[in-house]
Amino acid sequence: MRVDFFTWNEIFQNIPERIIKRYKYYERKEEWARYLSPPQTFAIYGMRHLMSLKFDSSLECLRLWGFIFNETERLFRAKQINKKIIAVMGDLGGIPPIIYSFKSLIGFYPDCLWWQPFFSENYNLFEVTGKASFPETSCYSRVIYATFLKKAYFPKPDLIIASTGASCDDYSCVMQKVYNLFYKDKKTEFIWLEIPPRKEKRESAIKLLKENYQRLAKILSEITQEKFTIEKLISGIKRVNLIRRNYQRLKELVGKSEIAPLGSLEMLLLEFGNLHFYSDILEWQKILLGILNLVRKRIKDNEGVLNKENKKIIWATPPADPLYLIYFEDNGTRIVGSEYIIHQALEIIPINKNKDPFTALAESYLSASLIGKTKERAYLIINEVKKYQAKGVVISQVFGASHCAYETEILKEEIEEKTKVPVLIIDIPLPSSEIPLQTKTRINAFIENL
């Protein structure tokens, strides 16, 4: 069942205390490690948008929401218990398997904080970037710079990894600004990694990525003073693959099912969990598995969360404002597939006895969404349309985002030509509690024509 904010509070009253206290992160026993809280808790701490959203009413999904919104505190707690914090920026997928090969390391993506202004319906982070002379015409990802300045969203990282190259430019410029903040700071190491483009001849790109990863493993080993071994990396990759595999299963089950066993907002959060496992890989693994089992049960019991008549659509590029997903679902669609520009975090890393694991990581990374031609990204979306028999595609854009400025029309043209389904392009405006009326009209017209 999908419920609103207030209904969740009612449901929460019936959850026994022993269950509330059962779920803790980092396998710690302390009270601070608890995370099973309803949306109300996070709304009280400023996440105002939660009041407008709809949520899955299962305990499994409550666990998901609680875990995700607890991440800021979790990162501070990690540092307090002497874990090393690695900020991974820009790569979106290839590096965390290496980080999680080390016991004392926690990796996280500051990149994901671009959602913060939207969940809190707040402009402060934009104002701070404005003061630092970032133009208003740049991508929302600029707020990440403000989170570094504020030191209130994550502790000071022990290492910052910035990946740049065949990727989006806005973020590369944000990373440069962050670098300027840190380069004099001897306590925080900052390294740049090159992301090569995907071209027909793959060997050079694989070689470059592999060298990146090997260099990184060496640096991480120095930071942790923990010996790095190939066996550790293999075991790190296996852990990541387990999560990626379970997510793939989940995505297929949800997409192919006759009913909608899970809402799109939860699916978005789950997909992004593949990036860095919200800073606790072991707990994330359990949460994901719990939801996978829930979905299996719902399919077996024919229990969906949306109207059966809702039309299937595919969503491309993650919406900065999650309210849009809810609006689409409330108005007769069901999001069965997605291309949220993190394809590199979804593919299984092809390890086997005969392959060096660094090579496997590099090969896997070459499936990234944005490092190739737009046509190749279109192909990922087209595949989803065909696989899940979708009736339409929505591409949400971000004003000022460099890739959107050049790829969206090509994507639309390719998808329409190859699938014959309509494509709607929408712009996601700055944080607000509501969707503009004009956009709603366009969305409704699109849905009517599916």
In single-letter form, the type of residue at position 315 comes to W
Number of residues forming the site for other proteins (CB under 8 A) = 93
How far apart are the C-alpha atoms of 401 and 127, rounded to whole Å? 18
Q: What are phi and psi of 61, to 5 degrees?
A: -80, -30
How far apart are the C-alpha atoms of 157 and 242, rounded to whole Å? 27
How far apart are the C-alpha atoms of 161 and 88, rounded to whole Å? 5
User: At closest approach, how far in Å is the CB of 245 from other proteins?
Assistant: 30
Query: Does position 6 bind other proteins by CB under 8 A?
Result: yes
Hey, what are 75's tokens? Answer: 């990162």
User: At closest approach, how far in Å is the CB of 160 from other proteins?
Assistant: 12
170 vs 384, beta carbon nearer other proteins: 170
Query: Does position 239 bind other proteins by CB under 8 A?
Result: no
Alpha-carbon distances of 155 from 109, 178, 273, rounded to whole Å: 13, 14, 20
CA dihedral 174, 72, 79, 346 (to 10 degrees): -70
SS3 60: helix
Query: Does position 87 bind other proteins by CB under 8 A?
Result: no
- Residue 176 has a CB neighbour count (10 Å cut-off) of 13
Q: What track of x and - describes contact with other proteins for positions 96 through 125 (by CB under 8 A)?
A: ------------------------xxx-x-
Query: Does position 185 bind other proteins by CB under 8 A?
Result: no
Site for other proteins in 417-436 (CB under 8 A): 433
Query: Does position 89 bind other proteins by CB under 8 A?
Result: no
Q: Is 273 exposed, middle or buried (0-12, 13-18, 19+ CB in 10 A)?
A: buried
Site for other proteins in 341-380 (CB under 8 A): 373-375
Q: Which among 200-208, 291-299, 337-345, 382-390 is the span making contact with other proteins, rule CB under 8 A?
A: 200-208
207 vs 297, beta carbon nearer other proteins: 207
Helix (H) or strand (E) holding 3: strand 2-4
How far apart are the C-alpha atoms of 148 and 284, rounded to whole Å? 25
How far apart are the C-alpha atoms of 146 and 129, rounded to whole Å? 6
User: At closest approach, how far in Å is the CB of 316 from other proteins?
Assistant: 15
Task: Classify 225 in phi/psi space as left (phi over 0), alpha (psi -120 to 50) or beta.
Answer: left
330 vs 406, beta carbon nearer other proteins: 406
Query: Does position 128 bind other proteins by CB under 8 A?
Result: yes
Site for other proteins in 160-179 (CB under 8 A): 162, 164-170, 172-177, 179
Query: Does position 404 bind other proteins by CB under 8 A?
Result: yes
Query: Does position 317 bind other proteins by CB under 8 A?
Result: no
Site for other proteins in 36-75 (CB under 8 A): 36-38, 40-41, 43-46, 48, 51, 72-73
Q: Map tokens 């400025």 to a residue.
A: 405
Q: Which of 402, 419, 426, 435 binds other proteins (CB under 8 A)?
A: 402
In single-letter form, the type of residue at position 365 comes to Y
Query: Does position 186 bind other proteins by CB under 8 A?
Result: no
Q: Which of 55, 67, 126, 134 binds other proteins (CB under 8 A)?
A: 134
Q: Which of 259, 410, 430, 450 binds other proteins (CB under 8 A)?
A: 410
Query: Does position 152 bind other proteins by CB under 8 A?
Result: yes
Share of the chain residues as helix, strand and coil, in percent rounded to the nearest 5? 55, 15, 30
